[in-house]
Amino acid sequence: MVISDLPDNYYTGKRTFVRIDFNVPNIEVDPDPPRIRRAIPTIDYLTSRKAKVILASHLGRPDRRPDPKFSLKPLAVRLAEILRTNVRFVDDCIGDKVKEAIGSMGNGDVLLLENLRFHKGEEACDEKFSSELASLAEIYVNDAFGTSHRAHASTYGMARHFEYRLAGFLVRGELEHLARIREAPDRPFLVIVGGVKIKDKLSALKRLIDKADKVLVGGCVAYTFLVSKGLSVGDSLVEQESISWAAEVLSKHGNKIILPEDHIVSTNADDIKGIHLVSGGIPKFLKGFDIGRDTSKRYAKEIASGNRTILWNGPMGLFEKEQFSHGTVDVARSVALAYLRGCTTIIGGGDSIAALKMADVSEREVTHISTGGSASLEYIGGKELPGIEILTERSILEPAATEP
Ligand code: ADP
Ligand code: MG
């Protein structure tokens, strides 16, 4: 069910918990990212129907305890500017303070809770934490597509306590766009994968690899594959547990997977003087921070070679630093060009979206910008996402709402 499936008057005065994805790392640098903008229709819909809207999200990867670096407070300020209304913020997501704040909400008010990951129960999907979250509201809405591949307390555990678990408009929009590619992508279907969440990306690739005609690999994801081929990657980031799987995939699908042939390396990300280009393996004590020039050229050629669907998630390098941004910028521009020549392109992931901006690629040069990175890869690969599945599941732990 989607939020618009309940009668309008059902929402009046109802405490409505909306799991949004405000995992926006750089609100100061980019005050208007799609993840915030796309959450607005759901929030508007609920406030105009006089619900009491309780918003909750995670931000980054804090060490399961409060850390001002990962506070959602700046997002409350930005959201208030966008909504042009007051957005109250509480510096926790469960407990008496939160209950008091909710108790004093008027119909149509908006409240943003503090980072869910300040509690260890969130990622552990702890039952007690889940019930505490659930006790805050009468209706549950998931509009956090980018986190729906994880069975956390806010995306899964708490949802089980509600009779009405609804998809928001962002989630509905994502599913509509991605379902077509999940079912039958126009071929050739090219997947480009990079970034730093190696485990997530490799696990998604396990399914996607069968569907894709070709996969270009960059970012940290590439080093695990290179190690599995016996190449040296110096001190670059590698997912040890996945090396044998990577070797297996290469032996089975080797013709589909294209790996970097050269790299931009340095001793560390701040060692600007030490930056240089290496071909083949990466020598000892050095780390790869971007794909090299030949790899960039090769990837641009592959992207331009008549694909009909392209799915891209994960930057090719540490693009936040100009010195390591070239591979990512080249890929972004090549994918934009493919779109202008008629290819369906999906670009997903918080950082990949940020990279588009850096490459000066506009949203009009992409078929669909997905707010999900790994979630999109998993979904298109054919996996059922726990946060989406729970919306359709029948079993209810403790019904919290009455009949509409
Ligand atoms: P997305 O948010 O698009 O799903 P990820 O979160 O997986 O992507 O990864 C994005 C991050 O990966 C960026 O912050 C980028 O700097 C980092 N990254 C990519 N390649 C490298 C690399 N070779 N070394 C260090 N960081 C990298
Ligand atoms: Mg990211």
Model confidence pLDDT, tens digit, residues 26-51 = 888 888 888 899 999 999 999 999 99
Q: Residues of the chain with pLDDT > 70: what percent?
A: 97
Section 324-339 average pLDDT: 98
User: Do 67 and 91 belong to one domain?
Assistant: yes
Give the pLDDT confidence score for residue 393 in this predicted structure. Answer: 74
Given the CA of residue 198, which atom of ligand 1 is nearest to it?
7
Alpha-carbon distance of 134 to 118, in angstroms, equals 17
Given the CA of residue 321, which atom of ligand 1 is nearest to it?
16
User: Do 52 and 144 belong to one domain?
Assistant: yes
Give the pLDDT confidence score for residue 103 in this predicted structure. Answer: 98
User: Do 31 and 80 belong to one domain?
Assistant: yes
User: Do 233 and 363 belong to one domain?
Assistant: yes
Give the pLDDT confidence score for residue 392 in this predicted structure. Answer: 86
Contact yes or no for 338/299 (Cβ under 8 A):
no
Alpha-carbon distance of 5 to 1, in angstroms, equals 6
Using the mean position of ligand 2's atoms as its centre, give its distance from the Cα of residue 315 in Å.
Answer: 9
Using the mean position of ligand 2's atoms as its centre, give its distance from the Cα of residue 149 in Å.
Answer: 14
Q: Classify each residue of 178-202 as buried b or exposed e, where b means 16 or more C-beta atoms within 10 Å of its C-beta.
A: beebbeebeebbbbbbbbebbebbb
Residues 6 or more apart whose Cβ sits within 8 Å of residue 51 = 11, 12, 13, 14, 15, 16, 107, 108, 139
Given the CA of residue 317, which atom of ligand 1 is nearest to it?
20
pLDDT at 403 over 50: no
Using the mean position of ligand 2's atoms as its centre, give its distance from the Cα of residue 313 in Å.
Answer: 9
Residue at 347 is within a domain = yes
Residue at 173 is within a domain = no
Give the pLDDT confidence score for residue 402 in this predicted structure. Answer: 47
Contact yes or no for 257/215 (Cβ under 8 A):
yes
User: Do 365 and 223 belong to one domain?
Assistant: yes
pLDDT at 127 over 90: yes
Residue at 172 is within a domain = no
Give the pLDDT confidence score for residue 161 in this predicted structure. Answer: 96
Residue at 70 is within a domain = yes
Residue at 378 is within a domain = no
Residues lining ion ligand 2 (Cβ < 5 A) are: 350-351
User: Do 95 and 138 belong to one domain?
Assistant: yes
User: Do 59 and 83 belong to one domain?
Assistant: yes
Alpha-carbon distance of 379 to 365, in angstroms, equals 23
Given the CA of residue 352, which atom of ligand 1 is nearest to it?
3
DSSP assignment letter at 193? E
Alpha-carbon distance of 275 to 403, in angstroms, equals 64
Alpha-carbon distance of 282 to 261, in angstroms, equals 10
Residue at 205 is within a domain = yes
Ligand 1 mutation pick, 220, 311, 331, max ligand atoms within 8 A of CB: 220
Instruction: Find the ligand nearest to 370 CA.
Output: 1
Confidence of residue 10 (pLDDT cuts 50, 70, 90): very high
Instruction: Specify the residue with its C-alpha closest to ligand 1, atom 26.
Output: 318
pLDDT in tens, 63-78: 999 999 999 999 999 9
Given the CA of residue 200, which atom of ligand 1 is nearest to it?
7
CATH number of the domain within which 246 lies: 3.40.50.1260
Residue at 377 is within a domain = no
User: Do 213 and 357 belong to one domain?
Assistant: yes
pLDDT at 398 over 90: no
Number of domains in the chain: 2
pLDDT at 288 over 70: yes
Residue at 184 is within a domain = yes
Confidence of residue 394 (pLDDT cuts 50, 70, 90): low
Using the mean position of ligand 2's atoms as its centre, give its distance from the Cα of residue 350 in Å.
Answer: 5
Ligand 1 pocket, CB under 6 A: 194-197, 219-220, 288-289, 313-315, 317-320, 349-352, 373
Residue 399, preceding peptide bond in cis (omega within 30° of 0): no
Ligand 1 mutation pick, 35, 196, 313, max ligand atoms within 8 A of CB: 196
User: Do 390 and 251 belong to one domain?
Assistant: no
Given the CA of residue 289, which atom of ligand 1 is nearest to it?
23
For residue 373, which phi and psi values (nearest 5 degrees)?
Answer: -100, -85
Instruction: Specify the residue with its C-alpha closest to ligand 1, atom 25.
Output: 318
Given the CA of residue 354, which atom of ligand 1 is nearest to it?
3
Average pLDDT of every residue of the chain: 95
Using the mean position of ligand 2's atoms as its centre, give its distance from the Cα of residue 205 in Å.
Answer: 17
User: Do 204 and 344 belong to one domain?
Assistant: yes
Domain housing 223: 179-372
Using the mean position of ligand 1's atoms as its centre, give its distance from the Cα of residue 74 in Å.
Answer: 23
User: Do 53 and 131 belong to one domain?
Assistant: yes
Instruction: Find the ligand nearest to 351 CA.
Output: 1
Section 97-126 average pLDDT: 98
User: Do 184 and 142 belong to one domain?
Assistant: no
| Locus of tokens 């909400």 | 105
